[in-house]
Amino acid sequence: MPRMRTVDAAVAILRREGITDLFGLPGAAINPFYSAVRADGGLRHTLARHVEGAAHMAEGYTRAAPGNIGVCVGTSGPAGTDMITGLYSAAADSIPILCITGQAPVAKLHKEDFQAVDIASIARPLTKMAVTVLEPAQVPGTFAQAFHLMRSGRPGPVLIDLPIDVQLAEIEFDIDAYEPLPSYRPVASRAQIDRALDLLCTAQRPVIVAGGGVLNADAADLLVEFAELTGTPVIPTLMGWGAIPDDHPLMAGMAGIQTSHRYGNATLLASDHVLGIGNRWANRHTGDLDTYTAGRTFTHIDIEPTQIGRVFAPDLGIASDARAALALLVEAARERASDGTLPDRSGWAGECAGRKATMLRTTHYDQVPIKPHRVYEEMNRVFGRDTRYVTTIGLSQIAAAQLLHVYRPRHWINAGQAGPLGWTVPAALGVVAADPTQEVVAISGDYDFQFMIEELAVGAQFNLPYVHVLVNNAYLGLIRQAQRNFDMDFCVQLSFDNINADDDAAPGLKGYGVDHVKVAEGLGCKAIRVVEPDAIAPALVEARRLAAEHKVPVVVEVVLERVTDIAMGTALDAVNEFGGATSDPADAPTSILARAV
């Protein structure tokens, strides 16, 4: 049996488990692991500027393609605590990432050694497993268990903490004798599926709510097939957006109190049965539960048994992987179609399509400073069906979800539940690293952008090109809008008179504070500023060209009016449109009637 250091065994296991990329920062307590990475030579490593950024890069990497598992690496102490936000974001959205941290020697763990912190205890509530490995011989088994857990049941993150003496210890290990542990996912029974189909067929106005679990299970194809077989309109959640193309006749729009479409809300309120697949009934989707549930029955299919009934009790709950459940639903629906027992839903689907064609939001504004709605209208014109969008939180994300269009699975990549500011830049870099062939466009408000702006240098150093649309109103816009309830505007203004501002060089930016163009250029990227609406599309086209030519991130900063309220409310029937609604498709170029070019 070959003898090797535990870290050499760990790297060999990573490669056997299919890992090709690492995101992280070397440090004293993790240098043995890095020496094994260097000696192996088969893993690409992207050097982050902040360990939280590395964790979000790993998230973006995982979210970009089925089967991906992002890995982030950091040293002891603050590196581990910096990863906590990434672990929270990954756990909240059922995203598997592996965090590897260095640690003080085993004998020093209880002696308040320099940068020695019980990171496993800190991370445990946010992971499927968080462990400090105390025995060198347990390293291979711990890594095997980590991958088993990340792939089994509801996906999620794992943290492995390696004391430096454990990393340096030698063990007997043969990678040729290593086999990944089989993963486990619950599968619905045919009897359960038949009951779910009975409820769907008995209803007069059913809809399918498709959550992120459909994408995690790589089941979008089956979802569309089932919807077409049964003629059932589909309402994706924010995390499930892209599971059915926006221009599909049965795509009925998103529902919710923020990231939603007017027609999606109206269709859900008109429904009498909801089949939820791979969704959590998150509060931004449901809003007031009495409004959401009144007058309709529910079936809930989710991979996590304890998720069923967590928010409200469905009429039927089924614990199952989304792909397994949808395969059975397709099989059962085909049988009923062949014997003529599937009801005709064309009338109901036509009603939903009618709402989709008319219940739109106004986007074509010509004023200066620019209204944010116009930005997303122009993005729809410039960017095509294959564009991946990456964003996290704020009015920019809410408006993007209301006004952009997504046509493919995993082409809307969003930190849905946690919504950490600063997530967008590093996550976008992780997405690009996972698939450099796809066009990536990120969307940020100025505060999200400023949180981890230093990670732009990573894109410049490692040639990870993408276009970053920065909508700048020099405000914490979402918090300002929420403060309306308290009749205040307190500590949310980011504006100030920048002593270095030059109105001739940066027209329209006076009083907005940070010169993001100069900062981006200082970090090795390209940047363009836009202050007039007709200049948005040319800037986006130029940004796409610059990204392709220079292989770096390109920032398009759009200077917005300081205050804009974006549609939102407390219940599906109580969304305040703030005067931005229209029933005239000609007044809403971002409607599904307008094709991307």
**pLDDT tens digits along 204-234:** 999 999 999 999 999 999 999 999 999 999 9
ω into residue 369 within 30 of 0, thus cis? yes
Spatial separation of the C-alpha atoms in residues 442 and 469, rounded to whole Å? 6
CB 292 within 8 A of CB 286: yes
3-state secondary structure 193-228: HHHHHHHHHHCCCEEEEECHHHHHCCCHHHHHHHHH
Structural tokens at position 267: 């269709």
**Residue range 371-417, pLDDT digits in tens:** 999 999 999 999 989 999 999 888 889 999 999 999 999 999 999 88
**Residue range 453-462, pLDDT digits in tens:** 999 999 999 9
pLDDT class of 490 with cuts at 50, 70, 90: confident
What pLDDT does 393 receive?
Answer: 87
Which residues, other chains included, contact 156 with Cβ-Cβ below 8 Å and sequence gap of 6+?
90, 91, 94, 95, 96, 127, 128, 149, 150
pLDDT class of 597 with cuts at 50, 70, 90: very low
Spatial separation of the C-alpha atoms in residues 167 and 169, rounded to whole Å? 6
Which residues, other chains included, contact 189 with Cβ-Cβ below 8 Å and sequence gap of 6+?
none
DSSP string, 322-363: HHHHHHHHHHHHHHHHHTT-SPP-HHHHHHHHHHHHHSEE--
**Residue range 162-171, pLDDT digits in tens:** 999 999 999 9
Looking at the DSSP bridge assignments, the partners of residue 82 are none
Nearest CA to 466 out of 479, 476, 456, 454 is that of 456
| Three-class secondary structure of residue 567 per DSSP | coil
Percent of the chain with pLDDT over 90: 79
What are the helix (H) ranges across 137-261? 139-151, 164-168, 190-202, 212-216, 220-230
Looking at the DSSP bridge assignments, the partners of residue 170 are 5
**Residue range 317-350, pLDDT digits in tens:** 999 999 999 999 999 999 999 998 999 999 999 9
Q: Is the pLDDT of residue 503 over 70?
A: no
Round the CA-based radius of gyration of the chain to a whole number and report it: 25
What pLDDT does 566 receive?
Answer: 85
Mean pLDDT of 519-533: 95
Mean pLDDT of 247-257: 95
Q: Is the pLDDT of residue 160 over 60?
A: yes
* Domains and their CATH numbers in the chain: 3-177 (3.40.50.970), 190-358 (3.40.50.1220), 360-587 (3.40.50.970)
Other CB atoms within 10 Å distance of the CB of residue 309: 12
What pLDDT does 402 receive?
Answer: 93
Spatial separation of the C-alpha atoms in residues 567 and 250, rounded to whole Å? 24
Structural tokens at position 560: 């917005």
Which of the two residues, 177 and 502, has the higher pLDDT score? 177
What pLDDT does 584 receive?
Answer: 47
Q: Is the pLDDT of residue 586 over 60?
A: no
Looking at the DSSP bridge assignments, the partners of residue 71 are 98
